Structure 1
Amino acid sequence: MPLLTAKDIEQLLANGKTNAAHIRADGNTEDVKPVVKLFAPWGGATWLLSELDPDDPDLAFGLCDLGLGFPEVGSVRISEIESVTGPGGLRVERDRFFYATDTLRRYAAEAQRLGYISA
């Protein structure tokens, strides 16, 4: 199963284009809902991604948690996530049942409070 579906990529790029335009105009961004949740089935690593850079679609932005108790908002390369291999050859997976109910900022605030992403 691919990490990102065509629909995910379309929405992630749309969010990225919107925020790139906002940054050029006034330096601010929209607080959008995450589009996709990725996770390592063998541990606590989780990523809630909200956008892809329209100039570099391998570069995603979102809430990242490597399972060490320090979730943070930032950028990550999709190719790096795809290259991660766990025990027995397990790979990072997309949560097919994830549906964002809140914005990235709110997920981030909760994750900072808890020390992990609870989505």
Structure 2
Amino acid sequence: MNLLPQKILDQLAANGEANFARIQAGEDTIDHAPVVKLFTPDGGATWLLSETEPDDPDIAFGLCDLGLGFPELGSVRISVLLAHRGRLGLPVERDLHFQADAPLSVYAERARDAGGILA
């Protein structure tokens, strides 16, 4: 399975471009809904990614939870996720059934309250 098909990469890039344009215009950024949910099948890590950097599409922004009870909004390199292997040597997977129902900030609030991503 391709972890991030072109359609997902295109949406992440479009969201990043939209926010970059808003920053350049001095406007507030858009609180995008997550585009993709990634997780470690043999661990507790989960990532909800909403956009990539226009100047470096290897850098994605989203809600990151390493399974330690402290989910955070931040950036992660896609190449690191592609190379990561869990405790049993399994690669990061994409949740094929994930469909966002809220903007990223709502997922972040829920995750802080619960101590982990609920998606």
- TM-score, with length taken from structure 1: 0.96
CA shift digits 1:17-57 (9 cap, x unpaired):
00011111115210110000000001110000000111100
CA RMSD in angstroms comes to 0.9
Q: What is the CA–CA distance in structure 1 between the aligned matches of 2:86 and 2:43, rounded to whole Å?
A: 9
Structure 2 portions without partners, runs of 5+: none
Q: What is the CA–CA distance in structure 2 between the aligned matches of 1:65 and 1:49, rounded to whole Å?
A: 11
What aligned pairs does 1:1-40 form with structure 2 within 5 A after superposition?
1-26=1-26, 28-40=28-40
Aligned to 1:52: 52
CA shift digits 1:50-106 (9 cap, x unpaired):
001111000000000000000000100001111111234210001111000010000
Which letter does structure 2 place at the counterpart of 1:22? R
Contact 2:46/2:66 (CA < 8 Å) preserved in 1?
Answer: yes
- TM-score, with length taken from structure 2: 0.96
Identity, % of aligned positions: 60
Aligned to 1:118: 118
Q: Which runs of 4+ in 1 moved over 3 A?
A: none
Give the stretch that moved more between structures: 73-82 or 20-29: 20-29
Count residues in correspondence: 119
Structure 1 portions without partners, runs of 5+: none
Q: What is the CA–CA distance in structure 1 between the aligned matches of 2:37 and 2:96, rounded to whole Å?
A: 8
